[in-house]
Amino acid sequence: MNEIKINERLALMDFTTRLGKIFFNLSIVLLIVVIAAFSTAMIGVLILLFGFILIILSFGTIFTLVDNYFDKLTNVSGITLEISTSILQYWDILIISSILLAALSIVLLAIDKRQKHIARIVIASIIVGIAVIVAIAFLSGVIK
């Protein structure tokens, strides 16, 4: 009877460790999604900037070389901005989820007595820090 309880306890510890690893991986993915959405918006702005620089450097001859140059330029940047704004509508949910999942993974991995997960715990702590910095940037209006 006592041996069955020990096996159940070990199975529960394995489950919590796996769950901690899953939460760790999901927190990374969610943080990458938010940062990628922000950088996609920045890429849209950079496309417009380089397009205007090309107009200036070519003294306007780009309009004769490429048909509908300005329309193509604004369409490409508009598409990237649409993608990023659709993702950034839910930035708060994504950031909070990333912070919670990273914190839960820290707790679940720290509970494991059989194996040390120092690297995952440190990286999860860094993820929490980066997510908090990104959340502060969104809330303060630095990132819109």
Under the banding of pLDDT at 50, 70 and 90, the label for residue 81 is confident
Q: Which of 89, 99, 101, 75 is nearest to 138 (CA)?
A: 89
The chain-wide mean pLDDT, for the chain, equals 79
CA distance 8 to 79: 53
| pLDDT in the model for residue 88 | 77
Residue 14, pLDDT > 60, answer: yes
Residue 53 identity (one-letter amino acid): I
SS3 24: helix
* Number of structural domains in the chain: 1
> Is residue 29 in some structural domain?
yes
> Is residue 75 in some structural domain?
yes
> Is residue 2 in some structural domain?
no
Residue 110, pLDDT > 80, answer: yes
Residues of the domain holding 46: 16-140
Q: What is the mean pLDDT of residues 118-132?
A: 89
CB 62 within 8 A of CB 55: yes
Q: What is the mean pLDDT of residues 23-43?
A: 81
Residue 3, pLDDT > 80, answer: no
Q: What is the mean pLDDT of residues 67-89?
A: 74
Q: What is the pTM of this model?
A: 0.67
Note the helical H segments in the chain: 2-57, 62-65, 69-88, 91-111, 118-140
> Is residue 7 in some structural domain?
no
Under the banding of pLDDT at 50, 70 and 90, the label for residue 4 is low
Q: Which of 24, 21, 30 is nearest to 102 (CA)?
A: 24
Higher-pLDDT residue of 113 and 118 is: 118
